[in-house]
Amino acid sequence: MSYVPGWRITRLEELCDINPPRPNLAGVADATDVLFVPMAAVDGGSGTIASPGRSTVGAVGHKSYRSFAPGDIIFAKITPCMENGKAAVVPPIPNGLGFGSTEFHVLRPKPGTNARLIWHLVRQRVFREEAAQHFAGTVGQLRVPAEFLKSFEVVVPADPALQARLADFLDAAVNIAASASARLARSERKVGQFRQAVLAAACSGRLTADWRADNDPGESASDLVARIELLRKSGRVTRSKPTVGPDGDLELPDRWTWTSVGALIDVATGATPLRTRAYYYGGSIPWVTSGAVNAGLITEATEFITARALGETNAKIFPPGTLLVAMYGEGQTRGRVAELGIAAATNQAVAALVFDQTNEALRDYIRLYFQENYERIRQLAFGGVQPNLSLGVIRDTMVPLPPIDEQQEIVRRVLRLSELANGIAGHVEAALGRADRTSQAILAKAFRGELLPRRMSNCSLADFTMGVFRGSD
């Protein structure tokens, strides 16, 4: 490989002191203010210290915190923070005294080394990927050893002025990519808002107002509910006090009606066979948990139970087409809805909405309604550390039900608009990928010595970034 004249191959320890010794605090008053930086304060996206804290020499000076000074680069050494690019150049601080998490490595640029250039080095993906190949420790506590940093080879300009010029160019290029990514991220949020607006319009009647003006919906929703109740011929119809809706601000269109999920559909749940009984597991019956609901359409299972488990526990097989609503789950899982694409048993953390010949035509609309009411249904969870929903909450959920013909028109329109949103989202995702790849390509070329044009003084940022793709030196 040929490099630009005036560049050199060197090790990182020749450019920086790695984890320099702590300052001598003898004679410094305990009440002296210092900067304190926990890991969470470093913004992995911008590479800045977004929310530093304050402390005193007395509070941190005799503890095992990492120390650093203005102009140092702090670099997260522990997974997953290291892979996420948590690194920052320390800004000016009172008294020049800074302390932070021991999970930082500190790189102190030696005279003639540009701090911003080192920051760009440790932020590039190829550097972090190679660092990950040298992890030490145990799973969950993996760290980049200091020896890796010391021995890492890098190609840099020997001239400090040229280093500064390169760092300025990288700053500008990365800022352009970050600005583009921020705009694209806003576009992603807009697509999400559009999807939610479509569902809200669908379940309020606004989406099909023009359709109703030109079509006779036939049987009213009230008649539809009465017919389903009659066909079910069961005393299981629930007429409990509604827990979600009716919304006093929502006036339903003519021939729509409010009804409960339990009045239309059987709602059941499964069970978790005892893990200590090995003969309950490893069979041929798919068994899914609340985590599978995030898939939207469930076509496979990661665990299987035996016929004996079905016979001796409350586990049961639900047919394809059953809607599953997660009642438990960390993060965003609780309240999600998915459809079974296979016959499967479930655990007790999901509510199964089981359709039959009397109500299967309602399935697609009911699924849309649960998607639209995701946040409101989540708020009905109860309990302490991990709030949960219950079968009663799901049964009592109130649904604004249109006539069956309008339901079908609503589903058609939502699917068409969803396809439009999917197309836009795909373009945005591709553009985000290109922005990231461009940024990483610029960094990679910079530290291979392939990036800077020969006439630095006449180089514009446009020439610089185009050089990445032309392979100019």
Q: Is residue 62 part of a domain?
A: yes
Q: Which residues pair with 344 in a beta bridge?
A: 318
CB atoms closer than 10 angstroms to residue 7: 19
| DSSP labels, 410-454 | HHHHHHHHHHHHHHHHHHHHHHHHHHHHHHHHHHHHHTTT--S-S
Would you place residue 250 in the very low, low, confident or very high pLDDT band (cuts 50, 70, 90)? low
- Domain match, 228 and 319 both: yes
Q: Is residue 2 part of a domain?
A: no
- Domain match, 440 and 301 both: no
Query: If you average pLDDT over residues 330-357, what whole number do you get?
Result: 91
Domain count, the chain: 3
pLDDT for 117-147, tens place per residue?
999 999 888 898 999 999 998 877 899 999 9
Residue type for 297, please?
Answer: L
- Domain match, 397 and 263 both: yes
Alpha helices in 207-344 (DSSP H): 209-214, 221-232, 261-264, 307-312
Supply the pTM of this predicted model.
Answer: 0.71
Last residue within a domain, chosen from 402, 432, 452: 402
pLDDT for 386-397, tens place per residue?
778 899 999 999
Q: Is residue 3 part of a domain?
A: no
- Domain match, 214 and 225 both: no
Give CA–CA dist 279/273, Å, rounded: 10
Domain containing 41 equals 8-158
Q: Is residue 1 part of a domain?
A: no
pLDDT of 466 strictly over 50: no
- Domain match, 468 and 448 both: yes
Last residue within a domain, chosen from 158, 177, 202: 158
Which stretch, 23-32, 253-262, 375-384, 429-438, has highest mean pLDDT? 253-262
pLDDT for 174-200, tens place per residue?
888 888 888 998 999 999 999 999 999
Q: What is the pLDDT of residue 324?
A: 95
- Domain match, 200 and 268 both: no
Give CA–CA dist 311/319, Å, rounded: 17
Q: Is residue 295 part of a domain?
A: yes
The CATH number of residue 242's host domain is 3.90.220.20
Q: Is residue 296 part of a domain?
A: yes
- Domain match, 388 and 247 both: yes
Phi, psi of 331 (to 5 degrees): 60, -130
Report which DSSP code applies to 457. Answer: G
Looking at per-residue pLDDT, the higher value among 247 and 433 belongs to 433
Give CA–CA dist 40/105, Å, rounded: 15
- Domain match, 170 and 211 both: yes
- Domain match, 464 and 422 both: yes
Q: What is the pLDDT of residue 3?
A: 52
pLDDT for 83-108, tens place per residue?
888 999 998 887 888 898 899 999 99
- Domain match, 375 and 258 both: yes
What 3-state DSSP class applies to 3?
coil
- What mean pLDDT value characterizes the chain? 86
Q: Is residue 149 part of a domain?
A: yes
- Domain match, 326 and 239 both: yes
pLDDT for 449-463, tens place per residue?
776 544 444 555 445
Last residue within a domain, chosen from 402, 421, 442: 402
Q: Is residue 20 part of a domain?
A: yes
pLDDT of 248 strictly over 80: no
- Domain match, 473 and 361 both: no
Half-sphere exposure of 141 (CA within 13 A, CB side): 3
Give CA–CA dist 214/239, Å, rounded: 34
pLDDT of 111 strictly over 60: yes
* Cβ–Cβ under 8 Å, residues 178 and 46: yes
pLDDT for 259-289, tens place per residue?
999 999 999 999 999 999 999 999 999 999 9
Give CA–CA dist 75/142, Å, rounded: 14
